[in-house]
Structure 1
């Protein structure tokens, strides 16, 4: 499949799309636009942003078609072997999973606007961008060499799955610096009204990246891109991708607060390069873009990642104890002050992401797989460390998950995760699964039991608010230092 994107009037926010594809000659063909995007497990119905749609043969003759679902078209192809699909897409949203076009820059998530046919999902794709010659393209996809060519640039993908997992920013004002960890080159891109402190950024990014790579035993890609879009308005959003992450932050004048957000979301999204991009629930292999892909282990995909995102900032020395405890207290406050009495378990809320996981929802119903999931991961990590006097930890669990499910890319089940955890822990951990994962049992007792071993305690005040308190206990402080400095 070959896609061509252009916009004669970017102020209209419409991107014109032409998709040329070879097909098996037949009377009928079904064309699909994704109904959702990886990294956000809810139907988003991108077809609502299409204003005009048509299908043609290579001589320009229109082919008859009709919709058979909200985002699937049945085409009478008259036995042709090549077709061209033409449509426009309204790109007027700026978040980490959207698309946007203006006179200043292009921001495209191909999953929003690239149609496909089932027979072409595993075949190579090209994405041609008709953009000004002075635009640079920030993207994880390689660019096709075009010596002397002007007016367009072409990106290449191994298949449709790689194409739609590769967002891009194209601009004449985008800034970039690189750093290296082992054999991987990491690109940090910045688009927006900002003057980055590159020396500080590269030093801190190198630290947390090296810590993650060392623990996991290598990085999955030879190149990786942090795509940062900095807005003048408040925003905080990141999405993981195969060889990149798309991050939208703001406001651009927030100073140290903006930088702390940049570190937190970047470390989180980098850990996703292992956890969910490749250590993936079997229900998501392969992605079915036409409907919900239900799974019960998002507390692993997002909860464990949330826990490690900030922990790696502390381990690497980017955060000190105070900064790390401040972030840890945020998870506690968001869970216990908002969802302490929620009726759902982590597995139930994982499943129901597709129902209302990204909305506030009705009172006392669901929990956050991010916040409670991170606290459950903390309980598990400290439990394993306590069982083995820091000789084993949650690190060993995730390394085994990587070796058994990520590298072979076979997908795991809840039972697979459970088995690996208990193998590392050296005991069944029935209490953990029953109280922390599979039920709505309050988490306070198990959390404080774990925290007390590392000299911390969560205090609940009479008004329901919570606070993380450090305990003056010499032995516990020693255990805390081992935990935070990865003495394992």
Structure 2
């Protein structure tokens, strides 16, 4: 067994200490660190945070040669080898590692070197307890406790191989712990950070969601224990799936307190995030592209199938939250309207297909610049709309005898449960078997840059899709009333004026000469504030106004001609209660 050990060198300096011990290491043995973490498709070069990688035998240094940014090679044979290094952990996200006096968190992909050629061997991980003022901390992980260690104690944990070791994030600190059961399996909720959350309510809702998803895939959970590791911050959002856990980040205000009874927008966002990551237990952790079996974590791993693994999951995250009873039907349609709106507001949908979006995620989706809305389309949001198109097509053509649920069931039974990866045409072949016809034309939409023909399909299930202008800069979509004019830019409040976050090509701000990052300070001789929408509502389309803005530290000015607010905001309304039963 290869033995790993991790402890805290200096919490205030954000340093973990890692040691790897193994017997009979031969000359030429290599050690390497992943460049990316499964589920987050971007090369992050975690190796940049490793400090002083060195080798020891019986207390004496052993030569270790670095071959590239993330690989080291042993220069001689060793009977008992120890590899030691520090990890700088100051990335407060779900993807890497973070350590200070309040908590510690790490993913194995950013922490543990792989012993190349011995990845299939079982490993142990000793998580050392901190001392002094941190001695009251506990540890939470989906890894299996061994050697007498009890869950939530510091001590020894085991994994069947290296891939398992790096697929179980670890949280340590003074966290809140709550539990519930779903599908006969214990589920634990860990909340780290200051909060006043009603954990009983959260667990009751998560129980409904988890049970709904377990039943969706046949009633048997693919694990015997599950963990929601949740970092609570002032303002944050994120999630990353793992084989029996998920790492989450949410805003403090997203979690309900004991005095709140409504499902706020923030709490709805948290619940759908949990639904999304939990659905990944099947769709991407076990049902996955053949390209990901096994994962090649040293460099980019290209596939055109992310529309299916993130898009279909994004379709079901809102839908299954509704099916579980945690939100009502109107709330679900509001969320779906917002998905439509996010897609339709981006001109990039006319320039990049879903297949290309999936393939180029490494350089476009995960490294978005200020021009993203004009250059790319998200395989999450447009992928969710394509999943909706598949679902409605199946339901309407077969009079309700087939649906997207059945596609997922077949994928689980024939691929995921057997460890077989999907090919680029797998989903099409299954849909063809459900429809009883060729679906080449249907799946050709994956390579097109046209808007999906969803309005007609929605009408067949009693739902009207209509479009309007945005009522304000913060309007995400749903039932509402649009504004007369618009700036042609998204913005955020700044200390003085507003900061332009993005500028739509061809819009009023673009025509006036403004760019993303500019700080708009005055329009028509009046100071601009966070209430810019209200300020602009006084004017009619075609009004030409003098405006001033800073670019860096240089004052600029120009004339802006306000244009009629563009129609890019979606709203969904039910017009036939009988027809909608075919879908909802």
Residue 236 to residue 147, structure 1, CA distance change in 2 (3 Å): closer
Alignment-derived partner of residue 314 in structure 1: 322
Name 1:425's counterpart in structure 2: 435
CA distance in 2, matches of 1:190, 1:302: 25
More helix by share: 1
- Distance in 1 between the 2:386 and 2:23 partners? 49
Match of 1:290 in 2: 298
Deviations 1:421-440 (A, max 9, x none): 21122221222211x21221
By relative contact order (CA 8 Å, sep 6+), the higher-ranking structure is 1
**CA 1:376–1:147 in structure 2 vs 1: closer, same or farther (change >3 Å)?**
closer
The aligned counterpart of 2:73 is 74
Instruction: Choose 255-264 or 1-10, whichever is displaced more.
Output: 255-264
Q: CA RMSD, aligned part only?
A: 2.0
Answer yes or no: is 1:17 the counterpart of 2:26.
no
Whether contact under 8 Å (1:240, 1:273) holds in the other structure is yes
Q: Which moved more, 1:359-368 or 1:243-252?
A: 359-368
Q: Does the CA-based 8 Å contact 1:137-1:169 persist in structure 2?
A: yes
TM-score by length of 1: 0.92
Normalised by the length of structure 2, the TM-score is 0.78
Alignment partner, residue 381 of structure 1: 391
Match runs of 1:64-463 below 5 Å: 64-76=63-75, 78-132=76-130, 134-146=136-148, 152-171=154-173, 173-217=174-218, 218-232=220-234, 234-252=235-253, 255=256, 256-339=264-347, 341-361=349-369, 362=371, 364-434=374-444, 436-443=445-452, 446-461=453-468, 463=566
Secondary structure (helix, strand or coil) at the match of 1:359 reads coil
Q: Per the alignment, do residues 152 and 395 of structure 1 end up closer, same or farther by CA in structure 2, a change over 3 Å counting?
A: closer
Distance in 1, Cα, partners of 2:285 & 2:341: 29
Cα distance change of structure 1 residues 382 and 253 upon mapping to structure 2, 3 Å threshold: closer
Distance 2:20 2:347 in 1: 46
Query: How many Å apart are 1:471 and its aligned residue?
Result: 4.3
Separation in structure 2 between the aligned mates of residue 155 and residue 195 of structure 1, nearest angstrom: 31
Report which stretch shifted further, 274-283 or 447-456.
447-456
Per-residue deviation, 1:157: 0.9
CA distance, structure 1, for counterparts of residue 328 and residue 581 of structure 2: 11
Q: Which runs of 5+ in 1 are unaligned?
A: none
- Kindly provide the CA deviation profile for residues 294-333 of structure 1, in whole angstroms up to 9, marking residues without a partner as x: 1110000100001001100111111101211121112111
Change (3 A) 1:305 1:341: closer
For the pair shown, the structure with the greater C-alpha radius of gyration is 2
- Residue 293 to residue 437, structure 1, CA distance change in 2 (3 Å): same
The whole-number CA distance in structure 1 between the counterparts of 2:129 and 2:345 is 48
Alpha-carbon distance, 1:246 to partner? 0.4
Aligned length: 472
Q: CA deviation at 1:395?
A: 0.4
In structure 2, do the counterparts of structure 1 residues 310 and 147 end up closer, same or farther at CA, with 3 Å as the change threshold?
closer
Counterpart Cα distance in 1 of 2:149 and 2:185: 27
2:34 is paired with a residue of what secondary structure?
Answer: coil
The alpha-carbon deviation at position 19 of structure 1 amounts to: 1.2
Q: Secondary structure, in 3 states, of the residue corresponding to 2:297?
A: coil
More off after superposition, 14-23 vs 239-248: 14-23
**Cα separation, 1, equivalents of 2:431 and 2:391:** 10
- Higher strand proportion: 2
Q: Secondary structure at the match of 2:425?
A: helix
